[in-house]
Structure formats: structure tokens, C-alpha cells
Chain A
Amino acid sequence: MWLLDDEYRKKVALAEMLKGGVIMDVTNVEQAKIAEDAGAVSVMALERIPADIRRDGGVARMSDPLLIREIQESVTIPVMAKCRIGHFAEAQILESLEVDFIDESEVLTPADEKYHIDKWPFKVPFVCGCRNLGEALRRIAEGAALIRTKGEPGTGNIIEAVRHMRSVQTEIKRIRSLGNEELVDLGKTLGAPVELIRNLKEIGKLPVPNFAAGGVATPADASLMMQLGAETVFVGSGIYKSDNPAARAQAIVHATTHYMDPDEVAKASEGIGVAMKGLEIESIPEAERMQERGW
């Protein structure tokens, strides 16, 4: 099936290389270097971290190409950048800049209330967020080569990422136990192509890597998400809204590598200063929750 298409395999292959690592938001060259020194596997170049986007309000858009270029020139690890949901012209610009991954992200203000980008014509791979399996499979059907939880970005509160990861994992477990006759009907309920559901039943996992994002603030958060089935962790506000970003960045990398080893996660958590204050999800009006963007 189309999952075996060579163009698609190359895209998923890069996601495979990022496994077991930490992808860090960076807003300038200095932060990009801190991230690379801390052991990040990739950086996400953007103008403002989610916590600041939330604070500032207004329309959040793709970053200035100049900023992206500067960051590309300052590090050797892959550079990702975000475009608005449905904004394929922004995605075309990011492809022309030769970013290594495009994040069609709910952190920015959506540009299309009905359609996500058709990601197949692009040579650069896409990562997309999800809250549940149906959303994950719809994004894969559109050509996403990597899936991440949405969580609730910029909050430093892990509860939403946990909810989304658990939801995906529970659905996968359920599908594995279903009979083949149940799959078409499930496709209707999930709003996802039945070929992808069949494939999922057969291989027991998503056909692309599944990462965690949205609310990671501590080494323990990273370990938690990895133990729940995430294969890599995205961190942004959690680093820069803490009082020692460099130390915290390094600690989160260490905890991600050794997520199954509590002694190492404990060591990583020691003396790295105060974590970001964080937000209760209930304190954010529903209309302002980023995870509600996209469908």
C-alpha cells in the first residue's frame, strides 16, 4: 500500500532517526546552540514559544524565514519549523527553505477551518498533532510522516499530553482485539481510512513514529511520556520558562534516554532549579485551548 512508497519511506525514515531523543523549541541562534549542546536531536525554529503566544494573543503565524535560515546555519541537527493548519503556502515557503520537518501546528492560529494540508505533494516530511487515534490516522492519510500528541502547549501541565497518548494507545489495543468484520464500521466511527485501521491491527502500532508534545516541563514528565509509549519528546516553554534553561534541557535529554531507569531520572532531576509555574487547564477558556484547533 502507499505506506511503502519510496518518497513516503524517506520521510518516515527521518522520524525513525529522531527516536529516543528530545526536540526543543528555539527562538534564536543562542537558544539553538544551547539545545544542540544539551543533546537535542532536532530544534523547532519559531518566533515565540507557545507560552508567549498564549500570553500575547493575536494571530500566530509562520516564523520569519530569516530567523529559520539563521538557525539552520547555526546547528548541524535537523531543523523543523511550524506552519498554520491548512496554510499550504506557508508550508511551501518552509519547503523552499529546506527545513527538515514541517510541523502543521495547532500552536499557530489555523488558516483553514475545514481542511488540513494535503501533505503528499511535499518532499519535506510533516509532523501533526492528535488527541486521539482517529485524528492521528486522518493526518497520516493526508501524508503526515510523524504523529505527536497535542497536549496543551505552553502550559507546563502534562495532563493533556497524557490523556492524548493514553487515548491513542487504548484505541490501538482495542483494535488489535477486534474481528476483521468490525473494521469498516470502526473506520466510520473514527473517521479514518479502513486501510490504515487494517494495517494498524496487523502491526499493532501506528505506521509512523508517535512522539509526545504539549506540557512537558520536567525530566519526570519526559520519562512518564516515554513510558506511556511516546518515542521522543518535544519540549518548548517547559525549558525557557524555567529558571535554568540549559541545565533543564540537559536533564530532560538525560531522562529521555534513560526513561526506564528511575536512578538516572532521579539524578537528572537533581538541583536543576525551579520548573515553569504552569497553568491549570480549567483556567484556560475552552476557546483559547490550542488542542481544540484541528479536527
Chain B
Amino acid sequence: MQIGILALQGDFELHQTTLNRLEVKSTLIRKPSQLVDCDGLIIPGGESTTLVKLLRNIELIAPIRHFATHRPIFGTCAGSILLATEIANHSMETLGLIEATIERNAYGRQIDSFIYTLQLNLNDKKYEFEGVFIRAPEIKSVGQDVKVLGVVSGQSEGENIVLAENDQILIATFHPELTQDDLVHRYFIDKVRTKSKN
């Protein structure tokens, strides 16, 4: 098994460090041709505005959409924005691979970034996880085929979704790659493993 990590911009190296720790083979993706040998793809945190432009410049949007028809993708923070179908407070092109409405910089600027203990629900088991939120987006709502795996008590109204998935796509508004806990990455690897068996 090999996981591709989109390496146009952002904290892609930290994802690679996590995968190395899990002894999972990974490769950095900067061109469409490099996707071929990958069983899964990670879209890292970074600047979503920048990432969309770079994806377009190198003509990676269509290849990633095609990749998603048979392989899982995991997006963290900016990655989750890129994967969602709708951005609430900004008009931008996205990959549109998971039915979710996301608000960018929902908590404010860097001064409002925070670290908070999350309750995640993976495979019907509850886990505590250290959520690192940096200029983070917020998942406002999700489609019927999307399963909510984690929430945080919102500063505005009620609970906000921070981790969600559909059949192929996993999105987190926080940064598991910035912690020493591999839980969410392991969950994604299992998803990739299940898909590559089929």
C-alpha cells in the first residue's frame, strides 16, 4: 500500500512523518502522473485559496476527481475545504467530493486558533483526541450520505462537526498531523485498506 500526499503547499511533511511512524509507504504528489501508484491520497493543511490555484495550474483537479471514484482521500483543514461541495462564505472552486457546507476561517484569525479535546466516534467506539485548530474552517452541515464522526461545542450555535466521512472521503477541520496521536491517520489507512481489497 502506498499513500500519496499532495505536496503543492502546506504541512505535507508532517503527514509524511505520521505515515512513517505507522510504517506506511508514502509519496509526495506534485504532478498528475504521480497519482497512478497510490491507493489513497492525503490533502494537507495549508492555504486553501493558494492550493486551489496550484491545483488548477498543474491540472490536478480532474485527475483527483477521477482518483476519488475508486480510491479514498483524506483532507485536513484546508484539505477539507477543497473536498467539500460548498463553501458558505466564499465563492471558490473546490473538488466537490463530499456533500458538506464549510465555512472558512470560521473561528476568526490566527489569534483565535485553539487546541481542544475532542470526542471522536470511530467504528462505534468513543475516543478522546487533541484537536489543533489553526485558522480553522467549520463544517456547517452535511449531506445524507455523510457520517459525522466528531463534533466540538461551538462558540456560536450548538455543536460543530469537525470530522466526517462518506464512502470515499474523510475530512477533518483540525490537524491530526500536528499531534503525536495516530488515531485518525490509522482510521484513514483502514479505509484505504478496505477499498484496495475490493
Contacts and interface: CB of A to CB of B under 8 A. Distances in A.
Interface stretch (A9-17, A55-63, A129-137, A215-223): A9-17
A19 interface: yes
Contacts of B57: 39, 254
Nearest to A125: B110
B127 interface: no
27 contacts: A9-B132, A10-B110, A10-B114, A10-B115, A10-B132, A13-B178, A17-B77, A18-B47, A19-B12, A19-B46, A20-B46, A21-B47, A39-B54, A39-B57, A40-B50, A41-B50, A42-B47, A77-B50, A78-B47, A78-B109, A78-B110, A98-B109, A98-B110, A98-B111, A100-B110, A257-B8, A261-B30
A36 interface: yes
Instruction: Specify the main secondary structure of chain B where it touches its partner.
Output: loop
A39 B12 CA distance: 17
A253 to B, nearest CB: 8
A57 B132 CA distance: 44
Contacts of A18: 46-47
B111 A13 contact: no
B66 interface: no
A76 interface: yes
B78 interface: yes
B49 A21 contact: no
A52 B146 CA distance: 53
B135 A78 contact: yes
A14 B50 contact: no
A289 interface: no
B138 interface: no
A258 interface: yes
**A-B pairs with the 8 shortest C-beta distances?**
A100-B110, A16-B11, A20-B9, A39-B53, A41-B47, A13-B134, A98-B109, A21-B9
A16 B46 CA distance: 8
A125 B175 CA distance: 18
Interface of A: 6, 9-10, 13-14, 16-21, 36-37, 39-42, 76-78, 95, 98-101, 123-125, 253-254, 257-258, 261
Contacts of A9: 115, 132, 178
B105 interface: yes
A36 B49 contact: yes
A99 B110 CA distance: 8
B7 interface: yes
B47 A16 contact: no
Given A17-B134, A258-B30, 19 more contacts: A9-B132, A10-B132, A16-B45, A17-B45, A17-B78, A19-B11, A21-B46, A21-B47, A41-B9, A42-B47, A76-B49, A76-B104, A78-B47, A78-B110, A100-B109, A124-B110, A124-B111, A257-B8, A257-B9
Interface residues on B, range: 35 or more
A168 to B, nearest CB: 18
Nearest to A13: B134
The secondary-structure label for the interface of chain A is loop
A56 B58 CA distance: 41
- The interface centre, meaning the residue of A6, A20, A77 with most chain B CB atoms within 10 A of its CB, is A20
A76 B92 CA distance: 11
A34 B110 CA distance: 23
A77 B49 contact: yes
Interface string B22-48: 000000001000000000000001110
B113 interface: yes
Interface string B47-70: 101100110011000000000000
A100 B135 CA distance: 9
Contact of A95 (B9, B78, B111, B114): B111
A229 to B, nearest CB: 13
A124 B13 CA distance: 24
Nearest to A258: B30
B134 A14 contact: yes
A20 B105 CA distance: 21
B173 to A, nearest CB: 13
Contacts of B50: 21, 39-41, 77, 253
A17 B132 CA distance: 12
B14 interface: yes
A100 B112 CA distance: 10
B54 A17 contact: no
Interface string B1-15: 000000111111110
A144 to B, nearest CB: 15
B115 A6 contact: yes
